Chains A and B, each alone.
Chain A
Amino acid sequence: MDQTKQEEDYGYDLFPERKPRTKKLTLAQSLFTFNHKCQVMLNFAMETSPYAKLLLSAMKNSGCQAFKDRHFSCEDCDGTVSGGFDAASSQIVLCQNNVHQQAHMNRVVTHELIHAFDHCRAKVDWFNNYRHLACSEIRAANLSGDCSFTNELTRFNFGLKEHHQECVRGRALRSILAVRKISREEAEKIVDEVFDSCFNDHAPFGRIPHSRKEAKFANRDYANRDRYYANL
């Protein structure tokens, strides 16, 4: 398959630094990009966000321990995209030019870790099966806090009753359309087909964590899982 076509088909054109070339940072890149700030925020997220800590723990227990130097990459990205998961290289990409606040970084790291977690525990065919892609996007939008009431307010999406679900559908749709060349109708159909199943898959949280406190409770439950299942 032609390299350029492949890049366009799978959304790689949003991540221009993913092209094969040397990864070593030049002095100019170190000084004039947000790379260092991204690294600092990433570190903080991995160490303090209960969402990220639970996902990292669950992945480690599934045999996919994530190392900062190997599995995370801070890069400049096109457009307004905040991050991505590259299944081909098993890396989480963080868009250093588009993520400037710690809360946003926490959310992006959580979102991409959910994709990595799905990649680790299931046979996800990222490139050819749109249902799998849609499912992971639904889960990521649902469980990462992307669709919290306050986040939706900042996007001027005002809604209350069951709005969370509407948001999850919409964001999953947008994510698919951003990285694959299919029609909106086709994407909507696929999201509809898998929505009920994927919206109710809360692994590894065991709930939809709506707040830091709920995420901490989910962490507690996860740490306690051996005792829990042994005594059911």
Chain B
Amino acid sequence: MEGSKVTTWRTPRMCDDYWSEFKLCKSISNYFHHYYTYGTSPSCQQWKEDYYHCREWEKHGSTEAKEALQKSERKRVAEQRNFTPVWELRREPPRDWHLPLDQEGPQDS
């Protein structure tokens, strides 16, 4: 059900966050960590583009900038989810998480 407030679109992250991610990505230590983990050099260009799109949206409200930014972030989310989980996720936390220690019953998974 829609509330009476109209929510205007905001950039997913603050523009400065894109820039700081870009700077971190370009750093020597990140290059090293990326090579140590994946055996390749990191690609950082997308962060820079996202920063410029973000600024573009802030200054001029450009629809192209907004869409480009959304597309880029959706791609990032998809990359983070690009695996088949080994387990089933819970809908609620485990029942015995908050039980006091003395009352811990027999194993009950």
B93 contacts A62, C-beta separation under 8 Å? yes
Q: Which residue of B lies closest to A91 (CB)?
A: B101
Residue A88 at the chain B interface, CB threshold 8 Å: yes
Q: Are A201 and B85 also in contact (CB < 8 A) when A160-B35, A220-B17, A232-B70 are? A: yes
Give complex CA distance A131, B88 in Å. Answer: 12
Residue B4 at the chain A interface, CB threshold 8 Å: no
Q: Which residue of A lies closest to B96 (CB)?
A: A90
A123 contacts B90, C-beta separation under 8 Å? yes
Give complex CA distance A202, B83 in Å. Answer: 11
Residue A222 at the chain B interface, CB threshold 8 Å: no
Give complex CA distance A124, B89 in Å. Answer: 9
B83 contacts A232, C-beta separation under 8 Å? no
- In chain A, residues 103-156, which have Cβ atoms closer than 8 Å to a Cβ of chain B? 118-127, 131-132, 135, 149
Contacts of A160 in B (CB 8 A): 35-36
Residue B2 at the chain A interface, CB threshold 8 Å: no
A123 contacts B97, C-beta separation under 8 Å? no
B107 contacts A122, C-beta separation under 8 Å? no
Q: Are A123 and B12 also in contact (CB < 8 A) when A197-B83, A201-B83 are? A: no
Q: Are A227 and B37 also in contact (CB < 8 A) when A70-B101, A131-B86, A132-B87 are? A: no
Give complex CA distance A124, B88 in Å. Answer: 8
A232 contacts B73, C-beta separation under 8 Å? yes
Give complex CA distance A161, B31 in Å. Answer: 12
Contacts of B35 in A (CB 8 A): 160-161
Residue A24 at the chain B interface, CB threshold 8 Å: no
B9 contacts A231, C-beta separation under 8 Å? yes
Interface stretch (choices A40-48, A94-102, A179-187, A204-212): A204-212
A120 contacts B83, C-beta separation under 8 Å? no
Give complex CA distance A208, B30 in Å. Answer: 11
Question: Ordered nearest first, which 10 A-B pairs have the shortest CB separation?
Answer: A63-B93, A210-B33, A162-B39, A200-B83, A164-B37, A122-B87, A135-B86, A197-B83, A231-B12, A161-B39
13 pairs, CB–CB < 8 Å, chain A vs chain B: A90-B96, A120-B94, A121-B89, A122-B85, A123-B90, A124-B87, A160-B36, A162-B38, A200-B82, A224-B13, A229-B12, A231-B12, A232-B74
Interface residues of B (CB under 8 A from A): 7, 9-14, 17, 20-21, 24, 29-30, 32-33, 35-39, 70, 73-74, 77, 80, 82-90, 92-94, 96-101, 104, 107, 109
Interface residues of A (CB under 8 A from B): 23, 62-64, 70, 87-91, 118-127, 131-132, 135, 149, 160-165, 194, 196-198, 200-202, 206, 208, 210-211, 213-214, 217, 220-221, 224, 227-232
